[in-house]
Structure 1
Amino acid sequence: MTAAVRGEGGDRPLAGKVALVTGGSRGIGAAIALRLAADGAAVALTYRSRAEAAEQVVKEIEGAGGSAWAVPADSGDAEAVWSSVAGAVDRFGRLDILVNNAGVGVLGPFEQLSLEDIDRVLRTNVRAPFLAAQAAAAHLTEGGRIISIGSCMAERVAFPGGSLYATSKAALSGLTRTLARELGPRGITANLVTPGPIDTDMNPADGESAPLQAGLTALGAYGRAADVAATVAHLAGEGGRYITGASLAVDGGFAI
């Protein structure tokens, strides 16, 4: 794992800020945690089962001179969501940035999805970001940021089997717009980042379906987790101060 490049000029535009990244032990979440830390933020990150991977992210951040803390939290568990927000505030004394990244995907024919599948995906992908935003809003002050990670599949379902996942990620669009309107008077922004095919261990660029996914993008290629992290970092920093209620695609043109 390699730490993300710092902001322009090697500065630390998020110095003094505290961020909570859900699902931060690997893939896009780990890249976001590393980038925010490289930009100067203290970072709390949650994980469900990969304690070793989460601790590796923490070690990398601390090795570069930053501050980080990993907390076990299943985003499908409401109490764990609330506790992770409270724990981040207790650990670092404040909260400035919430990144709702944790998610699960269950793919398959619409008719074959079970009630258990539906409940699990909606608990994690919809209810958890809602609850985390509620909890975080009690601590965020002017300049606070809520950034959720959606999916290009909410805009374009290019192949069958994605009904449940697409539904869950589409819900984040409505949540983001509403949060932007309700929290705007307090100087808090809310935005959505929608990745396309990103090279991670869950969806590797050399995987069986990779040629199909890459071929559906305008650029004909997978993106990197660091590409998503760079957009999150921009929204989290001063450059994102006048962006709210927006959905920013980092998808290589998948949705066009």
Structure 2
Amino acid sequence: MRSEMTQGADPAAAEELAGRLWSWSSRWHPGELAWLWRATGPGAAGWRTATWRAGGRTVAWARSTAPGRLDLQADTGHDGLVSAVLDWFEDGAAGHDLAVTVLDRESSLLEVLLSRGYSPDDDAPSFLHLRRRLAAASPPAPLPPGYVLRAVAGVQDGDARAGLHRAAFATPEPTAATYQAVMAHPSYRAALDRFVVAPDGTPAAAALGWLDERSGVLALEPVGTHPRFRRRGLARACVLAVLGAAVELGATHARVCARDGAADPAPRATYEAVGFRPYARNVRLVRPAR
């Protein structure tokens, strides 16, 4: 079936595609896309994006956040679709070195990329995918004296959650308004948005979960701790609280993507301490400018 490309993103359609294609060999979970498209705020306006449709539904999307950098998802059951996405990307990045990030289990994507002259970038940052089964609610983790863990109570907490994320990841987004847009997403659930408040009232750590009811898989995105409050077990407490709430909502598995490497071992250690185990990793493939 022939696909047709349109310039621009359709976030809801991209999330539907991610849910439809979900497997443990998929890079994208629909909840991660929900966060990606909404938490970026005005920055997303600078992305170069496109959507491909066939038979009345979306079959691929792509985004280039900078010239020569590509993220994508495509239904590889459509002949020539991945090549069409790469043609669009390469045409718009002429004269630039190219880099495409995929999951190492996405064998069809990898095959096409290798055939077009891309090769693995061994110096790229390493991001690991981890998963665990959710057979029962996890017991709560103890907190230091004076710290309080709770669920987001409503839009009034949007400013606190946004500020915590900016501090944890040293980024300008999300703002309070951007976080409220995240909270307005149809699949957002306050019960899966937990944060810890320090004794002085500062939001100290948080974890947000997204449950895909079709697969029963919960994605953690994001999890972070304010630099002032690290190494106190606060992120672990937030993660366990989200997992427990997810079980009550019908989740059967959970997954998370975390930076991996000797320079920053804390994220992987945090997740493995609560039962997550690695199963895949992101791979960046590069091709010099032509």
Would the TM-score normalized by the shorter structure come out above 0.5? no
- TM-score bucket (shorter structure): 0.3 to 0.5
TM-score w.r.t. structure 1 length?
0.34
TM-score w.r.t. structure 2 length?
0.31
* Greater share of helix: 1
